[in-house]
Structure 1
Amino acid sequence: METTNTLITQIKKMALPGEVQQITGTSLLVKNLFLFLCNQSDCPIDLILLCRKDGMILSCRYATPGDDLSGHTLDLDRLKDAEDLQLFKVSDDYIIAAVCPREKSAVLSDLQKDFQTLLGIIEQDETSSRHLLHCLNSVKNAISIYDENATLLYANTSFCKDLSIPNLEDALGRNINDVIRDIGAKIHSMEDNSSSLKMMDVLKNGEEVIDWEIRIESTEGQKESKLVSNDMYPVVDETGKVTGMVELTHSRQQDIKRTRKIMGFAAEYTFDDIVGTSKAIKEKIRTAKEYANSPFNFLITGESGVGKELFAQSIHNYSPRHKGPFVALNCANFSDGLIESELFGYVGGAFTGASKNGQIGKFELADGGTLFLDEVGELPLHFQSKLLRVLETWMVTRIGSSKQIPVNVRLITATNRNLAEMVEEGLFRQDLYYRLQVLTLEIPPLRERKDDLALLSDSFLNQAAAPYLDTPKILSSQAKKVLMSYDWPGNVRELRNVITRATVLSKSKIISKETLEESIASKGYMLKAISTDTPAERVKQKLTEIDNAYTSLLKEALELTAGNKKEAAELIGVSRNTFYRMLEKYGE
C-alpha cells in the first residue's frame, strides 16, 4: 500500500500543476463505459487510470479516497517507468494503467478484454456514421449541430477553423456560449449590432433564420476578425417541440462571390474592342494603358455616348486587378435616398422597405477589383462627404450598422458634366473632386475623330448581321458621305443605333443615302440643323440646360423648406452666401 501511495503522490505531482480539461464527446462516452466495467468487476485494485494517447486522464480510481485527477494530463513516457505499474493498451487511442496484486492480474486482463470488446462494438456501429462525418469534414462551409440547450453536439473541421477551436473533443458536450468564451472570441451581429447569439431565438421560437451575418472577433485582438453568414434550421420532433438546431455557415467572400455570379459583375471589354485608328483615340488608349497599372483613382470625362464605360472595363482588364470583379453603377439611376444603400449596403430592417436579410453594397462586391461609378456628377451633395470619407479610409459602414468593413477597391469614375464648374457653383465638393481626378482621361467626341467613322460603321454592320448569321450589309458611297457630314451628337452610341436601324430598314444589301438619313432622323435629330450648328451654339444650348437644372434645384429646395433660405442652403449642401448668389443668377 505504501508503494501505491508513493506512486499516487508521484502521479499527482505530474498532473496537478497542469490545466484541467473538460471531458466531453467521445472521451466522455469511453470514460462512462470504463466506469461501468470497473463497477461490475470484483478486482481488488489499489489504483487504476484510463488515459488517452495524449496523456489526458479520463478516469482515476484508487483504494484511498483523494483528489480527482480526471481531466489532468500526464507524461505517458514517465508513467511507463513507474515501478509496480502495469500498462494495458486497449486500443490505439486508450491505455489502462493499474496497480494490483500480481495474482489478480488476470482479472485486470479480463477487464481489458471486456473494454476492448465494448469499444469494438461501438466502432462497428459507428462505421457508417464516421463515414458521414468524414464527408461533412470535407465541406468547406462550417456545419454545427446543437441540442435544445445550445449544447454543441457536432462540428466539422471548417467550424473549428472559423472559431479557432484547437481541439474539437474539448468543445463537444458544452454550451456554445462557454466554448466561445473559453476560446477568447466575441460574436457581433451585423444585423442589429447585438452580441447575443441569434441561435437562441431559433431554439426558442422554432423558426429558421437565413443569411444572418455576424462578425467573429478575438478578445485578445491578435487575430483578424471574420465576417460570416449563418443559416440556422431548428430540429423539431413529431410533437412540434424544438429538440435542437443545425447551423450552416458561409464566409463573406462566398456570399460576395455568389452575388457577383448572379449579377454578372465582370468586365467584358478590353482595349482590343476599342475601334479606331485616328491619332486622337490611339493617344487615349496609350495613356489609359499607362494609367491602368497604377492604384490611383481615375476620372474619365467626355460627352454622353463616347464610350467611357468601354474604357473603364478595358482599364480594369489591363490592370493587375483583372481577375477581380468589375462592378458598375450609374449614379443617375438612383434617388438621393437609395444611392447610399446601393454603394454601402444595409442591415436587415435598416429602413422602411429594406430586405429583412440586408444587402451587400457595391463597394463590398467590388472588393479586390474595380468599382466604376458612371455619371458621378449626379451624386447628391449630402452623400458626397460620405463617399469622400470612404475614399480616405477605405472602410464602409452599412446603413443601420456601426461596424466598419475594410474594402480594397480601385475606383474609376466617369461624367459628361464639367465638375470643375460644378465645384465653383457649390454643386460638387472640391475635396471630393480632387480625390477623384488623381488620374484623368478625356475621351474625344466622334465629330473630332471622323477618321474612325468608317471602321466603326463596318464593325456595327457586322454586329447587326451576326444574330441572323447573315452577310453584313454595306453603305453606298452617298450614304458614306452622309455619315461623314453628320456631327453625331450622340457619339458612338448614336452611330451604333443608327447603323442597326438602317440595317433593319434597308431592303437590299446596300444601304442607301435615303435609308441612312431616315435612320438618323428617326433618332429624333434633324440632320441638316445639327450638322450646321456651330460649337458656340452647342455650348450655348448646354449652358441653357444647366441653367434650367439649377433653377429647378433651387425651386425644389425652397419648396421643401417652406421658403427658409438658410435651411434650403443646408439641404443642398452650400453656404448661405453661395445660395444667395445662385438665387440671384438662377432664381425665377
Structure 2
Amino acid sequence: MRLEIKSADRIGISQEILSVFSQHLWNLRAIEVATCFTYVHIEPDDVSLDKIRSSLDKVEGILQCREIELLPSERRENHLQTLLNRIPDPIIDIDEQGIILAINQAAKKLIGNKADKLEGRDITSYIELDHKALASDKAITTEINFAGTPYIADISPVIADAEAEAKVTGAVIVLRSMNTLGRQISLMQTRNDQGIENVIGQSAKMKLLIEQTLRFADLELPVLISGETGTGKELIARAIHNASSRAKAPFLAINCAALPEHLLESELFGYAGGAFTGAQKGGKPGLFELASGGTVFLDEIAEMSIYLQAKLLRFLQDFRYRRLGGTTELSANVRIISASHQNLVALSAKQLFREDLYYRLNVLSLELPALRDRKEDIALLTRHFIANAAAQVNQQVPDISEQAMAILQHYHWPGNIRQLQNVLFRLVALNTKAMIGQEDLADLLAQSSDQQAQAVKDYSDTRDWKSAQAAFEHGLLTQLYPLYPTTRKLAKRLNVSHNKIAMKLREHGLD
C-alpha cells in the first residue's frame, strides 16, 4: 500500500510518523519526504487505511492521509521511461564500472527484447571498448559494433558534483544506426522535398523528360544524367529517388570535382580506424554505407580519377567493398545515379574515362535540355523565381513587363536555369518599383554578358590586330543586340551614333 500523508510544516513531524509505523511493526519498503508531505510504501497490503488513519491521529499536525497508486519517484521514473521508449535510437545508461543500469525499449530490441539479459551486465560483453574509455569526462562520438551491428555511438558522461571536484559516475550511450545517420545527412543536404512536382516546364522536351523520369524511378538500375551546367541535374536525380521505392531511405550527393582523389575515396568507401594520419579512432563510414537502402548521386562523374573509376567499377559489379585500410568486406544496397556536363563518349575515346564504367553507369540515360532550347518555359520559370526571391527578401512580388519578358526569352542563357535564377534574385533584391522594366533587365544582363565574355575570351590564337578587333565587335554586337533590338537603343547603350551601329551590324551580318 502506498500512502500520501499531508501535514503541517513542523520540525520532527516525519520522525513521529515513522515512529507510529515502527510501533505497529508495519514493514516500510520505501519512504519519501517533501515539505508538508510524507510518502510511504508499506507491506503487507492487508493493513486497512482506516487503522492507519486512526493511528496517525495521535500525531499533531496530520491533515490528511490517502492511498495513492505510485510514489513520486516511481511516477517520475515511469514518465521518464515512457519518454525514453518513445525515442527510436537505443539508449543505454552505465555506471563508472561499465555495468548497464537502464535501457530503453529500442535497446531491448537489439538482443531480442530480453531485458533481463542486458540490464546488470557488463557493457563490454556487447561492445569492444573498455568501460574506462566509455566513462571518460568528455563527450565523444565513435563507431562501435553492438551485438555484431555497426553503430555511431554518442557517449555523454554522467557527472556528480562533489565538494572538491566533479566525479564521473557513468555514461549515457545513444546508438545511431548507419541508415538513421544517412537519413539525417540527407535531410541536411535537402532544404525541402524535391519531387517531380518541383520540375517546372510545359515544353514538349520537359514533358518527355518528366515522363522518362517517372518511368526510370520504378527501375532499380543506374541512371546517367547529362546536360549543361545549371540545367538541374541534381533536381532530376532527387526526383527519381523520391518517386522510387527508396524514397524513405537516404539520398546522399557528392560532387566528384570538389574533392581530391584520396578524400573522395574515403568519402565514398569510408575508412577503418588508424587507416592514415589524422583518421578518427573508430573509423568513419562512407556514403555507400550511410545510404544503405537509398540512393547515391555522383555529380560531375567525369572528374573522377582513373584509379577511383576502377574502384567504382569493381564496386558496381556486386556492390561489395572494403573501407580504406580495412579488412572486412561490406556490402551496400544502394542505387547509383551519376551526372556530368561533359561528353563521356568523347572522353572515353581519349582514354580519359573508362569505357567499361561508362556502360555500367549508362544503363538508363536522361539528357537535360539547355534553357535556350526550351524558351517556352522561361516565362513560367521567371514568375516562379521572382515569387521565391520576393519571399526571401520580404518584398511584394513585382510584375514584369512584356518587353522585359521578351528580353529574357531571347537571351541565350549560357548558365541555364541557375543563371536565370541568380539574375532574377539580384533583380528583385535591387528592385524598388512595382514593375520590372526592360531597362532594368537589359543593364543587368549586359553586365553579366560582359563579365562572361571577359572570363572566357581567349586571344592566344589571334592572327593580328584587325582580326582581334573584328572578333570583339562581332561578339559584342551578338550579345547586346538581342537586349537592345534597335540601332538607336544599342547606340545609346554604347554611346555611339546609330549610323555606326547600323554599319557594324551590316558588316558582321547581324542586321
Structure 1 residues 198 and 163: CA distance shift in structure 2, 3 A = farther
Of 125, 144, 148, the residue aligned with 1:214 is 144
- Work out the CA distance in 1 between the residues paired with 2:346 and 2:76: 67
Q: What is the match of residue 363 of structure 1? A: 288
The answer to whether the aligner puts 1:421 opposite 2:346 as a matched pair is: yes
1:210/1:501 CA distance change after superposition, 3 Å: closer
Question: What do residues 253-280 of structure 1 show as CA deviations (whole Å, max 9, x unaligned)?
Answer: 5851674377244663333333322222
> Counterpart in 2 of 1:231?
155
Q: Which has the higher helix share?
A: 1
Q: CA contact under 8 A between 1:464 and 1:500: conserved in structure 2?
A: yes
- Tell me if 1:342 matches 2:267: yes
Q: Are positions 1:434 and 2:364 aligned together?
A: no
Q: Per the alignment, do residues 431 and 267 of structure 1 end up closer, same or farther by CA in structure 2, a change over 3 Å counting? A: farther
- 2:195 is the alignment partner of 1:270: yes
CA contact (8 A) 2:179 2:250 kept: no
Q: TM-score, normalised by structure 2?
A: 0.65
Residue 475 of structure 2 corresponds to residue 529 of structure 1: yes
2-side partners of 1:207 and 1:232: how far apart?
8
Letter in structure 2 aligned against 1:248: I
**2:398 maps to what in 1?**
472
The letter for the 2-side match of 1:161 is K
- Name the CA shift for 1:521/1:392 in 2 (closer, same or farther; >3 Å): same
How do residues 79-118 of structure 1 correspond to structure 2 at under 5 angstroms? none
Q: 1:513 to 1:167 in 2, by over 3 A?
A: closer
Match of 2:91 in 1: 142
Contact conserved, 1:301 with 1:414, CA < 8 A, in 2?
A: yes
- Supply the distance in 2 between the matched residues of 1:173 and 1:500 (Cα, whole angstroms): 61
The one-letter code matched in structure 1 to 2:109 is K
8 Å Cα contact 1:322-1:369 kept in structure 2 = yes
1:413 and 1:470 map into 2 onto residues whose CA distance is 39
The separation in 2 between residues aligned to 1:129 and 1:280, in whole angstroms, is 67
Question: What is the distance in 1 between the residues matched to 2:354 and 2:174?
Answer: 42
The size of the alignment, in residue pairs, is 392
Q: Deviations over 1:95-126 (max 9, x none)?
A: xxxxxxxxxxxxxxxxxxxxx97695699499
Task: Kindly indicate whether residue 213 of structure 2 is the aligned counterpart of residue 288 of structure 1.
Answer: yes
- Matching residue within 109, 127, 137 for 1:161: 109
Q: 3-state DSSP class of the match of 1:332? A: coil
Q: Per-residue CA shift, 1:437-462, capped at 9, x if unaligned?
A: 11100011122222223333333333
Deviations 1:28-84 (A, max 9, x none): xxxxxxxxxxxxxxxxxxxxxxxxxxxxxxxxxxxxxxxxxxxxxxxxxxxxxxxxx
Q: 1:476 to 1:159 in 2, by over 3 A?
A: closer
1:380-419 superposed matches below 5 A: 380-395=305-320, 397-419=322-344
Distance in 1, Cα, partners of 2:121 & 2:235? 57
1:305 aligns with 2:230: yes
Distance 1:406 1:457 in 2: 45
Amino acid at match of 1:199: H
Report whether the alignment pairs 1:451 with 2:399.
no
Alignment partner, residue 130 of structure 2: 198
Supply the distance in 1 between the matched residues of 2:300 and 2:400 (Cα, whole angstroms): 35
Cα 1:118–1:492 change in 2 (3 A) is same
Aligned-partner Cα distance in 1 for 2:444–2:184: 40
User: Unaligned 5+ residue runs, structure 2?
Assistant: 1-24, 32-39, 43-69, 454-472, 480-511
The correspondence of residues 2-151 of structure 1 with structure 2, limited to 5 A, is 124=41, 134=78, 137-138=81-82, 139-140=84-85, 141-146=90-95, 148=97, 150-151=98-99
Cα deviation, 1:5-32, whole Å, max 9, x if unaligned, reads: xxxxxxxxxxxxxxxxxxxxxxxxxxxx
- Partner of 2:257, secondary structure, is helix
1:142 and 1:249 in contact (8 A); partners too: yes
CA distance in 1, matches of 2:407, 2:119: 80
Using the aligned pairs only, state the percent identity. 35
1:376 match: 301
Q: 2:81–2:104: 8 Å Cα contact kept in structure 1?
A: yes
Deviations 1:245-303 (A, max 9, x none): 33423231585167437724466333333332222221111111111111111111011
SS at match of 1:338: helix
Matches of 2:378 and 2:200, distance apart in 1: 9
- C-alpha distance in 2, partners of 1:418/1:385? 19
Aligned pair 1:317/2:242, yes or no?
yes
Following superposition, the deviation at residue 496 of structure 1 comes to 2.5
Q: 1:393/1:244 Cα in 2 relative to 1: closer, same or farther (>3 Å)?
A: farther
CA contact (8 A) 1:363 1:396 kept: no
Give, in whole Å, the separation in 2 of the partners of 1:173 and 1:485: 75
Kindly indicate whether the alpha-carbon contact (under 8 Å) linking 1:486 and 1:531 is maintained by their aligned counterparts in 2. Answer: no
Distance apart, 1:412 and its partner CA:
1.6
Give the stretch that moved more between structures: 383-392 or 281-290.
383-392
Relative to structure 1, the CA distance from residue 304 to residue 157 in structure 2 (aligned partners, 3 Å threshold; closer, same or farther) is: closer
* 8 Å Cα contact 1:487/1:530 also seen in 2: no
Aligned mates of 1:503, 1:209 — CA distance in 2:
46
Q: Residue in 2 aligned with 1:517?
A: 442
- 1:246 corresponding residue in structure 2: 171
Residues of 1 paired with 2:129 and 2:146: CA distance? 12
Deviations 1:122-146 (A, max 9, x none): 9949966655655565424332434
Whole-Å separation in 1 of the counterparts to 2:288 and 2:280: 18
Cα drift, residue 480 of structure 1: 4.3
- Contact 1:461–1:474 (CA under 8 A) maintained in structure 2: no
- Given that 2:218 and 2:244 are in contact with CA atoms closer than 8 Å, whether structure 1 keeps it comes out as yes
Secondary structure at 1:324 match in 2: coil
Where does structure 1 lack aligned partners over 5 or more consecutive residues? 1-115, 181-185, 188-195, 219-224, 534-588
Structure 1 letter corresponding to 2:401: L
In the aligned structure 1, how far is the partner of 2:183 from the partner of 2:240? 24
Question: Does the residue aligned with 1:518 lie in a helix, a strand or coil?
Answer: helix
